[in-house]
Structure 1
């Protein structure tokens, strides 16, 4: 073609997204958007042309649930959030929801306001996720029991207001007094309601889903398991096509064979999250998660002095590798679980999660071993050399899951 297209053309790739694989793929990025795609020889001329030499090309990963990375905790304010996100972006996560653990109400309101400020200047931050304070003390996991409370309407309204339309998601325990009414308030405000850290039954989970809850927070963890006479919330989520199922696929929180069961039981509805704490993509040591101390040894994060897992040291590229190589998930489905499925959970699948014209220019190039080589987010190249040490262990742990 004689006309030179503005922007950048990526060519010579193997495209892989939730719609399938296309070999010898090319795409044009202009500004923040994919403006053209195709395959075969004869890609458009552009101001910049990048030959990917057969690399896999996927949409940017979307993490619905992360608390930190690169040695930085998201509960510690904007500077820590920015530094922690740099690590995740280097591993292919181009859009993130910032998760907060249970803290005093005043601190949560402050954190939500700070995240709202960041959203205004950084389009890669999708908003906030409150994992608490409306959690069951019996399934609190790595949340300080002193800061847990029932979801009274006045407190729910305060948190929604503090987020200034950037509170994307909240996890709550449906059995708490006032929880069902809180779901009504949150859904009306456009917040995605997740259920988790809860002692709920199969029937109660069904009731929460009928009320408008649409996400199961880190399935199998911090909730009753599957019993042959009490199927529990996981089976309720499997059976409900409206529900997205979060899964921490680090080889520690959920056995890969159980993860495979989730993919088979809820095709197209599993979202691979990190639930990462500060040590993700970093190194072993002692860290704070909210007000609690976490000891990380061999990539496993435990509350100090306990056998309770306190988040993960996972990055999403490692989750992709485990999904494909150890769980036996088809590459197309594994990529979908990192891209289109989380986008759908937030109602953003019109803009994110596919490599198609009109979608955001969020792109990850990976080698044959599913290792990230290059990343573009919102049309700009990301530094993939930031904290590239993988801190997460991938061996199966016999530690009791929280």
Structure 2
């Protein structure tokens, strides 16, 4: 496959009619063209919250399954992916950290996101309640030391005992503390942000709902420029109008699209496992078999990109920023997430009707 000679190239500053010149694994230049554009060229997607896909899961810490899941999402445009685990015993968290460390060093994964186990019992959603517990700085320190840079992000409910101390410690260690699965008040959420929390896990989902007299965490997260907010762009988790509102409220540089995809993504409807809980997938929704709680998604970033544009009506450059540029900045990645000379050549080619035509990672086309 070749890059189109005339397409709408989404750069950090503007959309350019032209093409991208690639030299080895790097972007050499963006050249303009006067010909009618035939599609779009956008940066590869960066998913900071993904539990698996194609029947494989990150949640058990199995390296072979992690390779399978990462390769599946790569074929659907995710050129940089984080492995997200769910609430688990410490032994599993530690073994997963050790198993995934070589994959991070190899570049298969960008790091680990521990979604739990330091979450609210009242807002645990599809997290296994048996695994929930208060944050333990000594436990966190062991994970960070074992990972040697592999642990990138941790979701914490700030109202739990020891949570503020844990957030402060994560911040000092360079690990993203993300507020999520929380029943915290507005004031406690603000205290967590002041302590160093810089992200919010799938805002609206797994959180105390907004009330005008008791606002809870949502407005504190949306309104603070120190916080990058995750949103799941499927109509199961968020009404398209809610996604549009949240995007405009937080602005694209402070908003990130994530899949929250589980192992059933790309697979037939049926029964699956998530952190020891039975999940039933039907008609595009994953729900716990026992109580119907939403249990992650079955979308790819390609699906989410299209949903944000076609269902929520958000402009393509803004969606691209949320799916690539902002997550790169949050993770501190300096050579991916945008189309600029010198950046790694992670490029996606879309048709005019937003069908994914090609995926390039580090200058090489991916077999799809």
TM class by shorter chain equals over 0.9
Across the aligned residues of Structure 1 and Structure 2, the Cα RMSD in angstroms comes to 1.7
**Any conservation in 2 of the 1:73–1:80 contact (CA below 8 Å)?**
yes
Cα distance per residue 1:95-138 (max 9 Å; x no partner): 001000111101110001111111122x2411000001111111
Question: Which among 101, 112, 121 is matched to residue 128 of structure 1?
Answer: 112
| Per-residue CA distance 1:311-367 (angstroms, 9 max, x = gap) | 00011111111111111111111111101011111122x322111101111000011
Cα shift readout 1:48-79 (whole Å, capped 9, x = no counterpart): xxxx9722100000001000011111123111
- Distance across 2 between alignment mates of 1:333 and 1:111: 35
Query: Is the contact between residue 39 and residue 350 of structure 2 (CA under 8 Å) also seen in structure 1?
Result: yes
Contact 2:70 2:108 in 1 (8 A): no
Structure 1 residues 289-328: aligned runs within 5 Å: 289-328=274-313
User: CA deviation digits over 1:288-333, x for unaligned, max 9?
Assistant: 1121111101121011121101000011111111111111111111
Q: Which of the residues 343, 351, 358 maps onto 2:342?
A: 358
How far did residue 156 of structure 1 move? 1.4
Q: By how many angstroms is 1:12 displaced?
A: 2.1
Moved over 3 A (4+): none
**Residue in structure 2 matching 1:26, options 19, 23, 29:** 19
8 Å contact 1:99–1:128 — kept in the other structure?
yes
- Map of 1:3-402 to 2, 5 A cutoff? 11-23=5-17, 25-40=18-33, 54-76=38-60, 77-121=62-106, 123-268=107-252, 269-348=254-333, 350-384=334-368
SS of the equivalent of 1:339 reads helix
Unaligned runs of 5+ in 2: none
Distance 2:148 2:247 in 1: 35
How far apart are 1:32 and its partner, in Å? 2.0
1:110·1:162 contact (CA, 8 Å) conserved in 2? no
The equivalent of 1:399 in structure 2 is none
Which structure carries more strand by proportion? 1
Aligned residues: 365
Does the CA-based 8 Å contact 1:124-1:378 persist in structure 2? no
TM-score by length of 2: 0.95
